[in-house]
Amino acid sequence: MKIKLIIVLALAVLLLGCTTTKDDSSILSDFNKLKTEYAVSNGYNTDPGQMAAYINDLSLLRAEGSFSSARLLDAEIESSKGFYYLIKANDYFYEINYETFGCNSSKVKSSREYLEAKSFAKLSYSHLQAAVDLVASLSAGELANLRKQQLEIVKEYSSFAQELVSYLENDC
């Protein structure tokens, strides 16, 4: 029994030793490179494919970081996801054929475009609300690594997403 316990403990120590984290300065450097590579230093990229790739790369970078860098990256990931879903909602919203059927028709409300626009708008709002909370919890030093006025930007996008959801659910 003792031998099994020693073997399990030895394996646990070895496995824990295999996880590595980068230091915060390396993470911030890589983060800044990603923002430059995906052209999101001052705003968000409106290409959904580029935003999806950016979010994926951010998630990979987050996995390499420490707890302190994770807070910053979580805020950026949620902000980026919210914007990505807002782009998708907007794209589907403009594909809805209102002229032929009218806004409140069952054809419109059951169309793929309407359902996707509504779904993506709700996802956007959810992620942007999470982003507002995360960005608001960051210190001034952490905020310096994000866009200027990041909290206000995220709040504006969140408001727009909420208005789109409301329009699709109530007005249309």
Instruction: Read off the pLDDT of each residue in 8-29 and give the average, rounded to a whole number.
Output: 62
Instruction: Read off the pLDDT of each residue in 133-145 and give the average, rounded to a whole number.
Output: 92
Alpha helices in the chain (DSSP H): 2-17, 24-37, 48-64, 67-95, 98-101, 106-109, 112-136, 140-143, 150-166
Predicted confidence at residue 4, as pLDDT, reads 54
70 close to 22: Cβ distance less than 8 angstroms: no
User: Would you say residue 80 has pLDDT above 70?
Assistant: yes
Instruction: Read off the pLDDT of each residue in 82-88 and give the average, rounded to a whole number.
Output: 97
This prediction has a pTM of 0.82
Q: Compare 100 and 169 and report the one with higher pLDDT.
A: 169
User: Would you say residue 137 has pLDDT above 90?
Assistant: yes
Instruction: Read off the pLDDT of each residue in 83-109 and give the average, rounded to a whole number.
Output: 88
Q: What percent of the chain has pLDDT over 90?
A: 58
75 close to 138: Cβ distance less than 8 angstroms: yes
